[in-house]
Structures are given as structure tokens and as C-alpha cells.
Amino acid sequence: MSDYDISGIWVSKEKDSEFISHVMLHKVDSTGLRDNGKKASKDEVIELIKNNTDIMTIVWDYSVAGWISGAKVTEEHLNKEYLRTVPDHTVTNNLHNLPRMTFFGI
């Protein structure tokens, strides 16, 4: 079980590239229940990861009418810090495949 789950993303453009600027972050309690979530910056999430907080993506599964855990979220430092998911050969649970929250007007 993770400490936090991510269910959606906000992206920003820089030159010709897109990167994740914010995520919809849900705190997970000791029973596995998630809160409603909050918009958290990429930097907030990276700080949690650096403090050994376990963060996963979640995706909605219509067959069980509920959220299922996806991929582990990590940070990567290239020329700056980025969020990324650990490759698990499942495209649907990757960060960039999560719902774009701007679509919902949030």
C-alpha cells in the first residue's frame, strides 16, 4: 500500500516539451482509504519522494467500480527534476496517461 496516490496531472509547456507541473495527490490512510485529493506541485511530490514516501499512480477500473494501483512514482534528475513512473510495461498507469485535470476545469 502506498502513502499517497496520484489520479491526474496538469502539464506545462516549455519550448517544444511538455512536463508535469502539478498532480492530483491523494493521502492514503492505514486502512487503504484515500482522501478527496489536492492539487500538489511537482516540487511538493519530489520532496515527499526524497523523504522516502511511497507514491503510486491509480487508475479507475470500471469492472470493479473502483481505483486500482498503478505504477510507482519516482523522481529523475536530468537538467532539472522530473516526476516519472517506474517502467512496468503498462501504458495506462504511466503519469502522462493519467487524466489531464485542466479538462475538468480544476
For 23-77, write each residue's pLDDT tens digit. 999 999 998 889 899 999 999 999 999 999 999 999 999 999 999 999 999 998 8
**CA-angle at 25, arms to 24 and 27, nearest 5°:** 150
pTM: 0.89
pLDDT over threshold 70, residue 19: yes
Predicted local confidence at residue 105, as pLDDT: 63
Q: Where are the domains of the chain?
A: 4-90
Q: What is the pLDDT of residue 8?
A: 95
Q: What are the cell numbers at 73?
A: 512514482
